[in-house]
Structure 1
Amino acid sequence: MAEPVADIAGGAQAAKDLFSGAVGGIAQVLIGQPFDIVKVRLQTTTAYPSALAAASSIYKTEGPRAFYKGTLTPLLGIGACVSIQFGAFHAARRHLEARNAGRPLGYGQYYAAGAFAGVANSIISGPIEHVRIRLQTQPHGAAARLYDGPWDCVRKLCAQGGGGVRGLYRGEAVTVLREAQAYGLWFMSFEWMMNADAARNGVPRSEIASWKVAAYGGLAGEALWLGSYPFDVVKSKMQTDGFGPAQRYKTMRDCFAQTFRAEGMRGFWKGIGPTLLRAMPVSAGTFAVVEMTMRAIN
């Protein structure tokens, strides 16, 4: 009779993981969207000499609302993405803990659980980010606008990609690589800092102060981007590329090669400044909200 009870308990915990992740995802979008549009503009054009110049130009020519261009798609989707990230990570973690038979997880196992979460997340993060990037980089003004919102963008990407969802999933291979590396590092870094604090101070994890949770989450965000940023640059280039005769990059490998030939190694780090500035508050807010939500519902 123990198995059904265990299944119910496991299902309830999985639901809590998913719900906490969704709440954290909403916080992530609201905090990070202005930084993200500056990052994407720097990655995909040479029009701006710096992040400050990009932000100033966006503000002057498009107005303050432009910093939340394309927000509807991530607001609907990133909540689901972060929900999947935390749900998949904790499911993988519990599986590994069961296999360890009481031994604590190694940090390679935390990385593997995070990478699994990233790959699971990439199924929906790829098209969501593709639509967001297209909306963020389209010309300003009603006359020059390419898409009349997220659903029009989805429809046109599917049509331009030859029908079906192939156009929507452009750049998916590099998205999978980025997500696996990024979230492997993200969760591993956060768990290491949380476990070290609990051991150093002799307290259970649930008693670690919320400001520390936020600080460790912010530092984990820095590790995420420093370890995966070149993949993100290639993804952005592929997801702003044209279709048909206007397509510059045939494959992920071709995009890496062209970027290196044209810009050298520096080309893979364009926009890293605003990305790291964004990572600290966004990741801090995400982990703090998820952790506090989990403590509240438990």
Structure 2
Amino acid sequence: MLPPARSGARRPKNSPPILRWVASLLPCPRQHAHRLSVSNEMIKQGRLTKPYKGIIDCFGRTYADEGVRGFWRSNGVNVLRYFPTQAFNFAFKDYFKALFGFSKSADGYWLWFAGNVASGAAAGASSQVFVYSLDFARTRLASDARAAGKGAGERQFNGIVDVYRKTLQSDGVLGLYRGFVPSVMGIIVYRGLYFGLYDSLKPVLLTGDLKGNFFASFALGYVVTTTSSLAAYPMDTIRRRMMMTSGTNQHYNGIMDAGRKIIAAEGPKSLFKGAGANILRAIAGALVLPMYDAFQELVFGKVYSAGSG
């Protein structure tokens, strides 16, 4: 049961995760940008003979080796995870918004802003507990290139069930949650900025003629989504590199060990491999925020401004 909301923090109880799911169908090939951040782990495991030179090289080699279908190999898991992920994200956001729903007029701007950031961060971190194993499976399938030098068609996994089966056999349940700590840290940064900045900046910037303007909302959403993604990207790289060690004898001894070894061997820039693709990916994420507002306007007759007051 939701705690009573503070004055001026009214929100509709439900939100449309289907919008985010529809967005996930459009840029499916972006899933293979994950290969850029884990290419060195793929080389260690014999999945690649040499690292990708960039996003264009990654897509070109994927197409040459696997055809068009290779771009969508992990998208079944991606579509599957979006319903529970977004349902948890928005449900937890409204729950924590009621806890941290400070009023801008009564409590001051910065306390109101901190409440928005805290509620977004707590919502994202809480949802990860329930959906992390699906993200693990998606990453392993997206990076499961044909084994280098072992003949065409040889892969490590046949599908999502095979990912779970082999990981549980080799590493147990903990293997499905390898990289969970940097994931939570990254999601706190990403969701905190994603929800917090949008909810906080929207009533400040989108005023007058810009209020209710879909394209202005999209532009703000794009800036917020891109900023959030880049800020959290190093943690995302570390967690995916840790994910890739499940089923192997080479594990990182925690987030600090992983970060130190990656930087020592490949340089600080390696933490941002594939970040350029995230700028394009942000278009889909940016659409969700104004579409959510438009949905509220259609169903409820008004847009409920989170944490407004």
Per-residue displacement from partner, 1:87-135 (whole Å, max 9, x unpaired)?
Answer: 2112222222368895466211111111111111211342121100110
Contact in 1 for aligned 2:168/2:175 (Cα 8 Å): yes
Contact in 2 for aligned 1:25/1:82 (Cα 8 Å): yes
- Return the match for 1:41 from 9, 30, 35: 35
Question: How many angstroms apart in 2 are the aligned matches of 1:258 and 1:59?
Answer: 31
Q: Following TM superposition, by how much is the alpha carbon of 1:43 offset from its aligned partner in structure 2, in angstroms?
A: 0.4
TM-score (norm 2): 0.81
Contact in 2 for aligned 1:126/1:172 (Cα 8 Å): yes
Alignment map for 1:226-245 (pairs within 5 Å): 226-245=230-249
- Quote the residue 1:138 is aligned against: 144
State yes or no: 1:177 paired with 2:181: no
- Return the match for 2:168 from 158, 165, 171: 158
> Which deviates more, 96-105 or 187-196?
96-105
Question: How many angstroms apart in 1 are the aligned matches of 2:246 and 2:192?
Answer: 31
Question: How many angstroms apart in 1 are the aligned matches of 2:209 and 2:115?
Answer: 23
Q: Following TM superposition, by how much is the alpha carbon of 1:201 offset from its aligned partner in structure 2, in angstroms?
A: 1.1
Question: How many angstroms apart in 2 are the aligned matches of 1:79 and 1:215?
Answer: 25
User: In structure 2, do the counterparts of structure 1 residues 102 and 31 end up closer, same or farther at CA, with 3 Å as the change threshold?
Assistant: farther
State yes or no: 1:86 paired with 2:81: no
User: In structure 2, do the counterparts of structure 1 residues 32 and 79 end up closer, same or farther at CA, with 3 Å as the change threshold?
Assistant: farther
Aligned amino acid, residue 23 of structure 2:
Q
Contact in 1 for aligned 2:178/2:246 (Cα 8 Å): no
State yes or no: 1:255 paired with 2:258: yes
Q: Following TM superposition, by how much is the alpha carbon of 1:54 offset from its aligned partner in structure 2, in angstroms?
A: 0.8
Aligned amino acid, residue 99 of structure 2:
H
Aligned amino acid, residue 271 of structure 2:
F
Contact in 1 for aligned 2:101/2:112 (Cα 8 Å): no
Higher helix share: 1
Contact in 2 for aligned 1:121/1:179 (Cα 8 Å): no
- Quote the residue 2:275 is aligned against: 272
TM-score (norm 1): 0.84
Q: Alignment length, in residue pairs?
A: 279
Contact in 2 for aligned 1:27/1:289 (Cα 8 Å): no
Unaligned runs of 5+ in 1: 1-5
Q: Following TM superposition, by how much is the alpha carbon of 1:42 offset from its aligned partner in structure 2, in angstroms?
A: 0.6
Contact in 1 for aligned 2:31/2:75 (Cα 8 Å): no
Question: How many angstroms apart in 2 are the aligned matches of 1:29 and 1:159?
Answer: 31
Aligned amino acid, residue 90 of structure 1:
D
- Return the match for 1:51 from 35, 49, 55: 55
Question: How many angstroms apart in 1 are the aligned matches of 2:170 and 2:117?
Answer: 37
State yes or no: 1:147 paired with 2:157: yes
Contact in 2 for aligned 1:36/1:278 (Cα 8 Å): no
State yes or no: 1:208 paired with 2:212: yes
Q: Following TM superposition, by how much is the alpha carbon of 1:291 offset from its aligned partner in structure 2, in angstroms?
A: 2.5
* 1:48 match: secondary structure: coil
Post-superposition, which runs of at least 4 consecutive aligned residues in structure 1 deviate over 3 A? Answer: 98-105, 140-143
Identity %: 21
Question: How many angstroms apart in 1 are the aligned matches of 2:102 and 2:35?
Answer: 45
Q: Following TM superposition, by how much is the alpha carbon of 1:202 offset from its aligned partner in structure 2, in angstroms?
A: 7.5
Contact in 1 for aligned 2:104/2:112 (Cα 8 Å): no
State yes or no: 1:108 paired with 2:110: no
State yes or no: 1:24 paired with 2:23: no
